[in-house]
Structure 1
C-alpha cells in the first residue's frame, strides 16, 4: 500500500504527464493500484522501432520517491526480454543511485533513450535491425492479442516473475483493461490491414489465378534462396512447354501427315522424271 506521500506525489505526476506528455510517451496509473503504472512508448522515426507500440509497466515501491520503480517492457521488441525487470540506473536494481527529484516522465524518457541505444544490461537482448523492424510491425497485434492463444516459452525466465509481469497468451486481456481505446484502435487497424490474428502477419491475397499470389509464394521459399524453388520453376516451365507442344501437334497432326505424303510423292515424281530424261 502506498504511503500518503507516495500517493500525493504520483497523483501530481499523473496530472503533469497527462497535460504535457514527453515525446513518444504516454502513461497512467492503474485504477486499482496507484503504484502500478502502465506506459506506451511509440518507436521514434529513424530507428528500427519506428511506429512500434511498446507497452510496459512501472511498479513503484510504497515509499516512492525515495526508492525507484521496477521497470518492465512487455511487448517483444528485439531490445528487451519481454516482461523482464530491467537493470537501469533509474530502476530498482540501483536504489542508491536514484534521485527523488526524478519523475515518471524522467524515468520513461531515460528508458526510451536507453532503448534506442545499443548499451547492454540485465534484461536486454541483441537483435539485428531487420529483426527489430519485424517486431515493430507486430507490436499492435501482440498487445491486443497477447501474442496468441497459448502460453509462450518466450517469457519463461526468472526475471519475468513477480508483481507487474505479464504472461503471453492472455488474449490481450490485461492490455485491453488498461488501454481500451488503444485496443479498439489496434483491432480496427488489424482489420484494415487484414492481419492474421494467430500470426500477426498480413493474410495472403486471393486472386483469380489461384489461392496463392506470387508475392506470398515467394515467402515460402527457404531463407537465403533455395535451389529447390529454381528447379521447381524449371520443371514447371518444361511441363508448360510440353503441354503447349502437345496441344499444337494434336491440332495439326493431319495436316502434317498429308503434307509429308504430298512432299514424298512430289520428290519421288521429280526423281522419276529425272531418271527417264537421263535414259533418253
Structure 2
C-alpha cells in the first residue's frame, strides 16, 4: 500500500518553490502487482515514494524529468503495455497520470491584516502561491500562519513595495485610505506587477484616479488597477465572501498566465474582466 511520503514531499517542494511532477497510477489492466492510486513525486534531483519500483517506475522517472527539463505545464496520460519491453513476464497494462506542480504560480503581497485580510490569506495559502502578508500592526496578525505565508511587520509598509519581485500580485486592503493611496502610487509607479487589486468602491476608484493622475501617473498605467477588485459574479459583503471573490480573480489571472512568458509583459487579465459591482 502506498504511503503518504509523497504528500509531505509535495508540500515541502512547493514551500521551496521547486518544480516537480506528481505521477499517479490511474488504471490497472490485466494481472499486475501495482496498486491503482499509488503515487510518486519526482523533482529534478530526487524522487519521493514509489509506484512499485521496477522498469515501469524507471520509465516514469524518465518521462517526469523530461517534462521538468521542458518546463511542461500540461498534465499527460501514458499507457504502458506490460511485457518484455518493461521487463514483465505477465500481460496487462498500466496507465499513469503525470501532473506538473510544486512551483508557486503566484507571488502575492497582501497589505492589510484586517477582517478581509484574515479571511483571504488562508485561502491564498491553500493555492500554489507564496504570500507575504504586510501590516504595521503586529497585534492584527493571527498567532499562527498557514504554510507558505511570511508575516512582515513594518512601520513603513510603503517601503515594502520595492522589496517585492517583478511579477508580484499586489493586494491592498489596509485600514487607512491615505496609506492605500501611497501604496497604490508606489505599486503603479513600478508597473512591473502581474496584477494589482485595491479594496474599495467605484467612488474610491474615481477619487484615487484623479489623485494618481495629479501625481503624473499615466492613464494606461492607472487603468491596470483593479478597484473594486474581485469577481463580480461572487456576491456578498461578508469578509469571507469578499475574500472568495478576490481569490477567484487571482486564480483566473494565474491560470490565464500559466505557462506563458513573463506575465508583466502581457496584457493584464484585469483589462479583460468586467468591473466588480461592490460599492
TM value normalised by structure 1: 0.25
Bigger Cα Rg = 1
**Higher RCO (C-alpha under 8 Å, 6+ residues apart):** 2
Judging by fraction of residues, say which structure has more helix.
Answer: 1
TM value normalised by structure 2: 0.25
Judging by fraction of residues, say which structure has more strand.
Answer: 2
